[in-house]
A and B are shown apart, each in its own frame.
Chain A
Amino acid sequence: MNDQKSCETRYKKLTLTESFIKTFISFGFLFVVLGVAYPYAVTYTSDMFFKDNAEGSLIKNDEGKVIGSKLIGQDFSFDKTLFQSRPSASNYDAQASGGSNLSVGNEKQIKAINERKDAILNLYHNPQKIPTDMLTASGSGLDPHISAENAYYQAPYIASARGIKIYDLYNLIEKHSTDYMLSDRAYVNVLELNLDLQKLNKE
């Protein structure tokens, strides 16, 4: 008991005014350290080690002009002989990221799925089942990837439309495939794949 008492008397009590002052002091101190110094320190350090990533993994063309980011999906529907990105609720507007937020049974969602199905069947005439990511919109609306299955589904049409050997195209997809962690399935970056596809044609 004596122990406890002596332990308590070691501390001084804060008065109300003191508490107010301390509120401002500690808030001000943490504002400077966590609100300002911390983000600058992270920026400085990441610039030292991963400058390219920190600046947005930008891809430039031969003239040095930015044509996009590796991580931000683009709409390729202007040229159907390129690999197509997933449907996007924001039409690949990078300033309005977000998903469709339609529920599973929503009439609009059912209609959208069926429209996409018709468009896919009309274009690709592929007898296989449709990879589901072709039928559904992504969460960010900027999904830079498609599933590997999706790429292989599009490949036969693209090969014939562009007059490329299908095996060259399969190799290209293979080269751009990234395996999922702890899984044997893979996904593909569409912009990088398309840039290589365009080169393939030139050769």
Chain B
Amino acid sequence: MQNAFLVLAVFMLVLTLLVKPVGLYMAPICKGSAPILFKSFDKKLMRLLGLENCSQTWSEYAGSLVCFNILGLIVLYLMQRFQAYLPLNPEGLGAVDSYTAFNTAISFVTNTNWQSYGGESTMGYFVQMAGLALQNFLSAATGIAVAFVLMRSLVAKQQVLLGNFFSDVVRISLYILLPLAFAYAIFLVSQGCIQNFSSYIDASTLSGVQQTIPMGPVASQEAIKMLGTNGGGFFNANSAHPFENPTDLSNFSQCLAIFVISAALCYTFGVIVNDSRQGWTIYIAMAIIFVTCASLMIVFESAQSPYLLDAGAAPDFYNTEGKEARFPLGQSALFSTVTTSASCGAVNNMHDSLNPLSGMLTMLLMQIGEVVFGGVGSGFYGIFIFIFLAVFISSLMIGRTPEYLGKKLTPAQMKLIAIAVLCTPFLVLAATAIACLFDFNLDSLNNTAAHGFSEYLYAFSSAANNNGSAFAGLNANTPFFNIATGLCMFFGRFIVIICILGCAGAIAKQKIIPSSSGTLPTFGLFFSFLIAGTVILIGALTFLPALALGPVVEHIEVFFN
């Protein structure tokens, strides 16, 4: 167990070291230009695409964002339906059925990457790389763009124009995501990830039985799947598959890749508002929750069930069901915590087989809105929902006008914030309740009783919060789950985004009030704890009853029986 904590410590150290350089690199793009290296190229490109010097109001920005994403959705749906006619399909995989294609298209466009299909037996290479992996880039860029708009609005002085969605997305994709993904993909190949367009290989194994080994352009997709916190695996087993995640070093780096952009956005924010303390305060608030949860996860997963111990299992092991031998306790627990803190949803072990309390942690991290570093962009604008709430609540308690960085939080903005904070819990709980109403859903369950309920709850927590991981025993490839999770993903993504953009629009219009002695300082350890406290309080209050019915009951049944 000490080794597991050592992995966690080294992870936090490396992450913290990466925050500043990556954060600095992203700052010019947030300000609406390109990093120095790409400046002249950017000028030509923007002229070529006709995007120079255009700017939009918040509602135009939101409109363009939705249009762009719906176009992506339609293209991705059609690509799956007409897969048989597309190139690079050596296995001759046929059209994906309409429910699955609908679900998958929404899933990848909303950065969720919930998968009700198995990659190696459903999707051809062209759909994987030009359909699914393309959306990995674009959904990540969309999230970061919204975070950038929010940052700009906080320093804007009585402005209505917030930047241009298209140039933001192009710049974020080309200057942030593409170079990082390219370099990272090559690193992954060096570890053993595959990257080719060959047809599946027939191996005659030692036993004489034929084994058909799937191939494909995996590394290029894997890199952006992590960096863009998408999480949709090339293969069914996702990052547990040896071709996606071949060594423990690749695993460690994948955890870093999931967090790096989200964590660095905190620093970018510090640069934009010209006060790096503000950025670090947010980083520390997130780190407090993350380290607590990761430590608990290590402790919970180090326990073996009484059934294993009765069978004579060696006591110095841990819960190895659903875990790979190359990922020991620390690497597995770290990955599970990271992937559910962020909106990634890749898994390197099967969450369905986690100990009950570990399963509860993964659910809780998603349910609090994935704001602990969170998805790229979405984690940043997500935590701002809680920052505004924290400022609002605490300012009212001490009898001040709530303001953040000289911007007043008006009732109109707080209403939008309230919608954003209530939207996903409502979707999760309502959809779980509806799923429980229909008996035919019982056929989808792989486990029964309390854990069966957890499979529903996990599915909708994951979908509405755009995570995409699953208690994968649940057979979600049914019309009910494909449609229900599809709608949860869509509304969970775009309602929150529109609320945030509306909020940013209103904030940008205000003037900046100079801070006075009566202003609540929004930096420092105290404020970090205030943010973390708000996140935990709201998440716990909303979901405690549901969690008590699932993982808590299961834990008592298994360990105190």
Contacts and interface: CB of A to CB of B under 8 A. Distances in A.
B137 interface: yes
A117 B159 contact: no
Contact of B130 (A31, A58, A93): A31
B67 A99 contact: no
Contacts of B291: none
Contacts of A100: 321-322, 350, 353
B508 to A, nearest CB: 11
A185 interface: yes
Interface stretch (B208-216, B493-501, B514-522, B541-549): B208-216
B446 A180 contact: no
A19 B64 contact: yes
Nearest to A74: B205
Given A132-B314, A145-B326, A12 B53 contact: yes
Contact of A94 (B178, B192, B195, B211): B211
B166 A95 contact: no
A102 B354 CA distance: 9
A131 B317 contact: yes
Interface in A26-53: 26-27, 29-31, 33-36, 38-39, 41-43, 45-47, 49-50, 53
B209 A136 contact: no
A6 to B, nearest CB: 12
A53 B193 contact: yes
Given A45-B186, A99-B350, A133 B157 contact: no
A132 B242 contact: no
A94 B216 CA distance: 13
Interface in B64-92: 64, 67-68, 71-72, 75
A201 interface: no
Interface residues of B, number: 128
Given A45-B186, A182-B6, A33 B178 contact: yes
Contacts of B261: none
Given A23-B64, A36-B130, A102-B447, A67 B192 contact: no
A196 to B, nearest CB: 12
Contacts of A72: 211, 213, 242-243
Interface stretch (A103-111, A155-163, A166-174): A103-111
Interface in B1-44: 3, 6-7, 10
Contact of A54 (B196, B314, B317, B448): B196
A56 B216 CA distance: 9
Contacts of B319: 104, 132, 136
Contacts of B477: none
Interface residues of A, number: 110
B3 A183 contact: yes
A10 interface: yes
Interface string B344-372: 00011110111110000000000000000
B545 to A, nearest CB: 21
B195 A46 contact: yes
B348 A139 contact: yes
B236 to A, nearest CB: 5
A156 B236 CA distance: 36
Nearest to B354: A104
Interface stretch (B300-308, B384-392, B482-490, B523-531): B300-308
B323 A101 contact: no
A76 B182 CA distance: 38
Given A13-B55, A66-B204, A110-B307, A138 B325 contact: yes
A109 B202 CA distance: 32
Contacts of B212: 94-95
Given A25-B49, A132-B308, A133-B320, A181 B236 contact: no
Interface stretch (B95-103, B167-175, B268-276): B167-175
Q: Which 6 A-B pairs have the closest CB atoms?
A: A101-B473, A139-B240, A35-B130, A132-B317, A99-B350, A97-B237
Given A102-B321, A105-B451, 15 more contacts: A19-B60, A30-B169, A31-B75, A31-B130, A58-B203, A82-B206, A94-B212, A99-B240, A101-B353, A102-B447, A102-B473, A109-B321, A135-B308, A136-B308, A180-B3
12 contacts: A19-B67, A25-B166, A26-B166, A53-B191, A53-B193, A67-B203, A67-B204, A117-B311, A132-B313, A133-B320, A181-B249, A185-B328
Interface of B: 3, 6-7, 10, 49-51, 53-56, 60, 63-64, 67-68, 71-72, 75, 118, 120-121, 129-131, 133-134, 137-138, 157-161, 164, 166, 169-170, 173-174, 178, 181-182, 185-186, 189-198, 200-209, 211-215, 217, 219-221, 223, 235-237, 240-243, 246, 248-249, 252, 304-305, 307-308, 311-315, 317-326, 328, 330-331, 347-350, 352-356, 446-448, 451, 454, 471-473, 554, 557-558
